[in-house]
Amino acid sequence: MRAFALRLMRSPEGMAGLILLILLAAMALCAPLVYPGDPMAIAGRPMLAPFSDPAFPLGTDRLGRNVVAGLMHGARASLLVGISAALMALIAGSIVGTVAGFAGGLVEDILMRIVDAFQVVPGFLLALAFVSVTGASLPVVVVAIALGAWTGPARLVRAEVLSIRERDFVAAARTMGMHPAEIAFREILPNALPPVLALASVIVASAVLIEAALSFLGLGDPNIVTWGSMIAEGRNLLRSAPYLSIAPGLGLVATVLGVYLFGEGVAEALARRRGRA
């Protein structure tokens, strides 16, 4: 594990991504300390331009809300939704993929047809439909995003499990009388995970973007600031006050970029370990 961390540090992408993510996480964590209280409360004169008032480094929007406070609190929502949706998708996908790949036969057919059914619907539409039916709140948004994202990990894990289950160490586990569930989840699944972890970064990044898109369309949780809702509000003033859309937009770019670079570094470090082994 330490050697893995070292290899990760040595890859420039991984390091850059890690720094970006740490900065964003620090931003999200410090938000209630630096700007206690509701970031949606009116804080000053409306439509202050950036860098004109030291109390509002990035200015205020048309209701007089502090843009920096919104950005920092918005980072919480974006990272929280992105990471929990990806985690949910990975866990659900890994379980379905392992069961399908290991059990085979009818169980595999049924599970994989369900995966197909989910995969033919674009993830964003699925999330849109789910949120509009159940009403917007943070947990609902997380589930909605995971709903469209679990199929990728499921297919990948199944493919890995199919090749791993033929290996001798699985035969050895069977001959020693190990329970099939234990073989599937303790012997096979951990060995199927590395490529899935590489996929995780793509899922986190797309989850952050889907969350922003949902908020942009007004289907996010209305009680919290998100970058998507900030962009949506800034859109009306795109000509007179572009900074209202650009600032949260840059936040999204930084998050997605950080996650991608970090994922790239992880994938590379994993590949190097495989090469050595």
Partner 1 sequence: MDVPLLAAKGLSKTFASRGRRVAALQDVAFTLKRGETLGLVGPSGSGKSTLARVLMRLIEPQAGSIHFNGDDWLKLEGRALRERRGAIQMVFQDPLSAFNPRATIGSALAAPLRVHGFADGVAELLARVGLTASLAERGIHEVSGGQRQRVAIARALATRPSVIVFDEAVSALDASVRGQILQLIADLQQSEGLAYLFVSHDLAAVRVIAHRIAVMDQGRIVECGPTQDVVSNPQSSTLKALVAAVPRLRKGG
CB of 182 to partner 1, least distance (A): 8
- Residue 177 within binding range of partner 1, rule CB under 8 A: yes
183 vs 256, beta carbon nearer partner 1: 183
CB of 163 to partner 1, least distance (A): 12
Pair of tokens at residue 7 = 């290899």
- Contact between 183 and 170 under an 8 Å Cβ cutoff? The reply is yes
Residue 185-224 contact track with partner 1, rule CB under 8 A, x = bound:
--x--xx---------------------------------
Report the DSSP beta bridge partners of residue 66: 60
- Residue 176 within binding range of partner 1, rule CB under 8 A: yes
Considering only residues 1, 106, 120, 277, which one is a binding residue for partner 1 as defined by CB under 8 A? 277
- Residue 178 within binding range of partner 1, rule CB under 8 A: yes
Maximum CA extent, the chain: 74
CB of 273 to partner 1, least distance (A): 11
- Residue 105 within binding range of partner 1, rule CB under 8 A: no
187 vs 264, beta carbon nearer partner 1: 187
CB-count burial class (<10 Å; 0-12, 13-18, 19+) for 218: exposed
- Contact between 151 and 115 under an 8 Å Cβ cutoff? The reply is yes
- Residue 175 within binding range of partner 1, rule CB under 8 A: yes
Span of 30-38, 97-105, 175-183, 223-231 interacting with partner 1 by CB under 8 A: 175-183
Return the C-alpha torsion angle 139, 140, 143, 144, nearest 10: -150
Report the DSSP beta bridge partners of residue 56: 53
Q: Which residue, chain included where needed, has tokens 């033919």?
A: 120
- Residue 4 within binding range of partner 1, rule CB under 8 A: no
Q: Where are the alpha helices (DSSP H) in the chain?
A: 2-10, 12-34, 67-103, 105-120, 123-134, 138-149, 151-164, 168-175, 180-182, 189-216, 227-235, 243-276
Residue 145-174 contact track with partner 1, rule CB under 8 A, x = bound:
----------------------xxx-xxxx
Give me the helix-helix angle, 138-149 and 189-216, nearest 10°.
Answer: 130
CB of 173 to partner 1, least distance (A): 7
For binding to partner 1 (CB under 8 A), which residues are involved? Answer: 167-169, 171-179, 187, 190-191, 277
